[in-house]
Amino acid sequence: MLLVKNITKRYGSQDALSDVSFHVEQGQIVGLLGENGAGKSTTMNIITGYISANEGEVQIDGIDLLEKPKEAKKKIGYLPEQPPLYDHMTIREYLCFAAGLKGVPRKEAQRSVDEIMEKTNLSERRNMLIKHLSKGYKQRVGLAQALIGNPPLLILDEPMVGLDPNQMIEMRNLIKSLGGEHTVILSSHILSEIESICDHIIILDQGKVIAENEVKKLETEHAVNNHLVIVVKGNKSKISSLLKQSKLVRDYTYTREVESGVHEYRVITASDQDVRDEMFVLFSEAKMVVYSLNMEQLTLEDVFIKLTGKEEKE
């Protein structure tokens, strides 16, 4: 559906993007991540045709954006970080206006707008002025505008920004429902939302792609064998003493009491090898019951910090 190949964008002598390439399949929901200044917005602006690249090419559904810009842009629905809304219009008036701008025939526009308002849960508020809507509903209207014309590719720039927790859940479910029928590229600073919505991740750092994979594969790929989470039943002081004296353990942290007499620890082992079998034997010989003994699972936030080197920079 989308091919970005060897894109470079320069501002003076500074490269905002440097040889960026990736491919997005039909129906995927892809998260575009990066710190401020990493190149996310520049990438989205190039894909939508708002700005041009110095080098490289963009193809949308097999259509070259540079050679056939009008045809390619018809394939795109775009929700910028600040939706371009007209506060003096009602929701329905605005969406009909957007349909006219996109060249949707008038007969089709009425039906299309009604269907999109139904899909985005705006039907009951169709006659409300946009200026009277909450932030969450304004984001919905912006997304509805992006859906006008049924474009196969949706570009959503920070669609969660400024939303309260309930509005985030509603927007998350709405975006997830669009996957399959539409290909979605989504940027956000809220990594937990990206993790729950997207099935594929692209991470940018200093204008370059530093990682690209499915979310779970990315988390597994960067996990480390010597970080364990252990849940053990027994006396807390005895468990701590056993960990402190063991040659298998380099460091440990007490996390919480899971239930009465059952304790959780985060353990860094002395070896980079998987020593879970040896750890189990250690507790068994001490007549302590091991409830669970697992490698610590990395979150998308852990992977992001690890790859961008944020901790080292700070």
Whether the Cβ atoms of residue 72 and residue 63 lie closer than 8 Å to each other? yes
pTM of the model: 0.78
| pLDDT of 309 strictly over 90 | no
- Widest Cα–Cα separation across the chain: 78
Q: Among 5, 103, 102, which residue's Cα sits nearest to residue 46?
A: 5
Tell me: the pLDDT tens digits for 122-153? 999 999 999 999 988 999 999 999 999 999 99
Asked if residues 22 and 202 have their Cβ atoms less than 8 Å apart, the reply is yes
The pLDDT value recorded for residue 52 is: 92
Nearest to 263 by CA among 307, 287, 233: 233
Distance CA 294, CA 258 (A): 15
- Who has greater pLDDT, 16 or 107? 16
Q: What kind and span of H or E run contains 267?
A: strand 262-269
Residue 224 has pLDDT above 70, yes or no: no
Cβ atoms of 109 and 94 within 8 Å: the answer is no
CA 68 to chain CA mean position, Å: 30
Measure the CA–CA gap between 232 and 288, rounded to whole angstroms.
Answer: 7
pLDDT at 313: 42
In this structure, what DSSP letter does residue 1 have?
-
Work out the average pLDDT over 58-72: 94
Domains of the chain in start order, with CATH, are 2-221 (3.40.50.300), 227-296 (3.30.70.260)
Of 48, 254, 243, 49, whose CA–CA distance to 155 is shortest? Answer: 48
- Choose between 271 and 263: higher pLDDT: 263
Q: Is residue 28 helix, strand or coil?
A: coil
Give the N- to C-terminal CA distance of the chain in Å, as an integer.
38
Question: Distance (Å, rounded) from C-alpha 68 to C-alpha 49?
Answer: 11
Helices (H), 214-289: 215-221, 236-245, 276-285
